[in-house]
Amino acid sequence: MKRLLCTTNFFFCMLITNAQTEGPVYKTIADQFEQLYNTQQGDSIFAMFSVEMQKALPIDKTNAFLSGLYRQAGKIKQREFTKYQSTFASYKTHFEKALFAVNISVDEHHKINGFLVKAFVDEPLPQIDRNQTKLQLPFTGVWTVLWGGDTKEQNYHVVSTVQKNAFDIEITDEQGHSYKTDGQTNEDYYAFGKPLTAPCDGTVVLVVDGIKDNKPGVMNPAYSPGNSVIIKTEKNEYLFFAHFKQHSIQVKQDQKIKQGQLLGLCGNSGNSSKPHLHFHIQNTEDINKATGVKCYFDQIQVNGQLKADYSPVKNDKISSPAL
């Protein structure tokens, strides 16, 4: 199989892109290739090639390769875009009998000008000990750290690989209460509806909205983060905000945002028993694969004292420095 696949290693550097979301042209071409491959229409696939590609891989060789691949690997059952690599869009492709990376390059005329099939290898995720991006607090006023720190006593999140450095943050009064009267409604909580802002410049890579806010004390584990936003920093750190108020999120996926820009309002959606902000940093977008990253804020007031490069812990009262 390896010898057969090596004959298709043609690279035509016609298109270079740094984007890491599948473009509509690539999606159309990849979908069409999969449909034609599964129905063994090699001539039609050959017609999708650029002139240069057709010269490099004539129709008889194209059909021989595709037929051999079909015999040995079977039909394509599932395909997932993973990244752009050099001139290629790379797809993790599950065939009936094998798992391969199928790489496709497309020219400005929407013709395939490069095609490569090779063994799929999962790349190791980056190891990030702490954030390198300078972060400001994502809110105004004084908030209290409900959970935060490195021990179970300080932070129940520590048992989770992805949330081990997470914070739960709320607003409390002088008596330590997070609500004004009896805490029976979300509106009774000081934090509910308060604006949450971007700690730094970045790109929004995920937005989930539309999930109802819970009645205090009743949680919704169906989608634990509830209404949520993930921001990717320039240093490839992923800032995860959870439990926004329903329909309050003001940013869109793929949007470039600036430090201090409004993200949405604090809410009580998802696996949350009362209005608060859940915030953590992770090393990749997918929460199911990610590892938590230790979070430090650049300049903050902690219990009335100015601290630099500080990671809050349970019971800290934190706010941004006075201007």
Residue 198 predicted with pLDDT over 50: yes
Q: Give 293 or 86, the one with higher predicted confidence.
A: 293
- Average pLDDT score over residue span 164-185: 97
Name the pLDDT band for 24 (thresholds 50, 70, 90). very high
In this prediction, residue 1 has a pLDDT band, given cuts at 50, 70 and 90, of very low
pLDDT tens figures, 3-23: 333 333 333 233 333 346 888
State the Cα–Cα distance between residues 29 and 45, nearest whole angstrom. Answer: 10
d(C-alpha 227, C-alpha 244), whole Å:
5
- The 8-class DSSP code of residue 86 comes to T
The Cα 96–Cα 108 span in angstroms is: 32
Over residues 60-65, mean pLDDT: 95
Mean pLDDT of all residues belonging to the chain: 91
Please give the angle made by the CA atoms of 267, 273 and 279, to the nearest 5 degrees.
55
Cβ atoms < 10 Å from Cβ of 243? 28
- Nearest CA among 282, 297, 302 for reference residue 228: 282
What's the pLDDT at 323? 59
**DSSP labels, 185-204:** SGGGBTTTT-EEE-SSSEEE
% of the chain exceeding 70 in pLDDT: 93
Segment 192-196 mean pLDDT: 98
Q: What share of the chain is helix, strand, coil (3-state, %, to 5)?
A: 20, 30, 50
Average pLDDT (182-196) is 98
Phi, psi of 174 (to 5 degrees): -65, -25
Question: How far is 189 from 262, CA to CA, in rounded Å?
Answer: 20
In the prediction, which pLDDT does 20 show? 60
Q: Distance between CA atoms of 77 and 248, rounded to whole angstroms?
A: 39
pTM to 2 decimal places: 0.68
Structure tokens at 271: 């696996």
What average pLDDT does this structure show over 127-156? 97
Cβ atoms < 10 Å from Cβ of 264: 22
pLDDT tens, 281-290? 999 998 888 9
Residue pair 91/101 in contact (Cβ under 8 Å)? The answer is yes
pLDDT for residue 18: 38
Q: Which pLDDT belongs to residue 151?
A: 97
Q: Mean pLDDT throughout 201-215? A: 96
- Residue 2 clears pLDDT 60, i.e. is over it: no
Alpha helix positions (H), the chain: 2-6, 24-38, 42-47, 51-56, 59-73
Q: CA-CA distances (angstroms) from residue 235 to 82, 126, 278?
A: 19, 11, 22
Q: What is the mean pLDDT of residues 111-135?
A: 91
Nearest one of 217, 321, 204 to 274, comparing CA atoms: 217
Instruction: Find the Cα–Cα–Cα–Cα dihedral 253, 256, 260, 263, rounded to 10°.
Output: -10
